[in-house]
Amino acid sequence: MSAEQITGSINSPTPLRVGVLGFGGLGQAAARVLAPKREMIWVAAADQKGYAYAAQGLDPDASIAIYQTQGTLGYLEPTGTLSSQSIQDLMERAKPVDGYFLALPNLPNTFMASIARQFIQSGWQGVLVDALKRTSAVEQLLELQEELLAAGITYLTGCGATPGLLTAAAALAAQSYAEIHSVKITFGVGIANWEAYRATIREDIAHLPGYDVERARAMSDAEVEALLDQTNGILALENMEHADDVMLELAGICPRDRVTVGGVVDTRNPKKPLSTNVQVTGRTFEGKISTHTFTLGDETSMAANVCGPAFGYLKAGVALHRRGIYGLFTAAEVMPQFVK
C-alpha cells in the first residue's frame, strides 16, 4: 500500500474547486488566502444579494472591489448574478464544486444547520467546512449526522481558530496525560475597522452579559458603534459558550465542563490586545501535574488563523470523501492537511 493510500492524500495536478459562502470580511480574506494556492482554485462565491461562478477561477481583486462598491458579487462581470436566493441558485449552477467554506454568520443560531439542510436536499455531494463558534450550533449539526451520511456529504465543523486550530492543539497536547484537568483557551483579536467584520463582532457581542444572539443580530450599526464607544472599542469576553467544549468531549479528551474559553477583541486596533493560546493541564501516568501551552504568533491575524485551518480541513475532508467516508466530523477528530 502506498503512502498516498495510507494517508488519504489528495495531491494531484488538478486543483480542488472551492466555493466560499459569505463574502464579508472573512469571505474576502478567504479569497485572498486561496489566491496563491496551487492545490485549490476559487470558483464560486455567494453573498446575500447575489453570487458569482467561474469554472476557470474568480479574480479576488475584482470580486472584492465590486462587493465593496456595489454591495454584492451579483454585479461582477461577466460571472455575477443577482439573486434573492443566492446560495440555492449557486448550488444549482456551480457544478462541479469539490467543497465549500461556509464563511457565514450564524445569525440566527439555527442558520448554519439550515444551510446544511439545503445541501442535503439539493443532492449535492462533496465537502462542507465551517468556522462555527457556539456549542449549541454544533449540537444542531450533530442532529444531522445521519442525514449528512446518507446524502454523501463530508461535513467538518468548528474548523477556524477557536474552535479549530486551538481545539486540535489541545487534542494533541492531551496525549501526554492520563487525565485532563482543564483546557483553557484565551484569545486576543485586533481589528482595525469593526465594520469589515460586522457579523463576527455581533456574534461576539452576543456573548456579553445581557445580550444573546437575537439581540445582537437585531442591533443596527449605529447601536453597535454606540456600544463600542462605551467600551473604547474593547470587547472583554469570559466563559463563552464555545464549541471547543463539545468538540473535546466528543473526542474523548475531557468532559465539557473542564473547558473554558474567553478573550479580548479590540475593534479599533489591528494589534492583538493579548496573545492567543491554549493551556492544557493534566496528570501524567507518573502522577505529575503539568501544563502544555500552545501560543499563536501575535503577527498572525484572525483571518489567517481562521481561513488557513479551514482550507486545511477542507483538503482533509476531500481526502475522506474520496475514500467514501461521509458524515459530520469536528476539528478535534481530523488532522488538517497543509494546502500548497
Which among 280, 326, 306 has a CA at the least distance from the CA of 103?
Answer: 306
- Contact present, 281 and 180 (Cβ < 8 Å): yes
The set of cell numbers assigned to 314 is 477542507
Instruction: Clarify whether 133 is annotated catalytic.
Output: yes
Helices 302-322 and 25-34 pack at an angle, to 10 degrees, of 60
C-alpha to C-alpha distance for 294 and 276, rounded to whole angstroms: 9
Annotated catalytic residue, options 39, 203, 242, 315: 203
Placement of cell 496525549 in the chain: 175
| SS3 label, residue 192 | coil
- Helices (H) then strands (E): counts for the chain: 13, 13
| SS3 label, residue 10 | coil
The DSSP H or E segment spanning 313 is helix 302-322
Annotated catalytic residue, options 37, 49, 92, 133: 133
Annotated catalytic residue, options 49, 95, 207, 214: 207
Phi, psi of 259 (to 5 degrees): -110, 125
The DSSP H or E segment spanning 30 is helix 25-34
Which among 99, 41, 54, 102 has a CA at the least distance from the CA of 80?
Answer: 54
C-alpha to C-alpha distance for 14 and 9, rounded to whole angstroms: 13
Return the DSSP state at 160.
B
Report the sign of the C-alpha dihedral through residues 53, 55, 60, 62, in that order: negative
The catalytic residues are 133, 203, 207
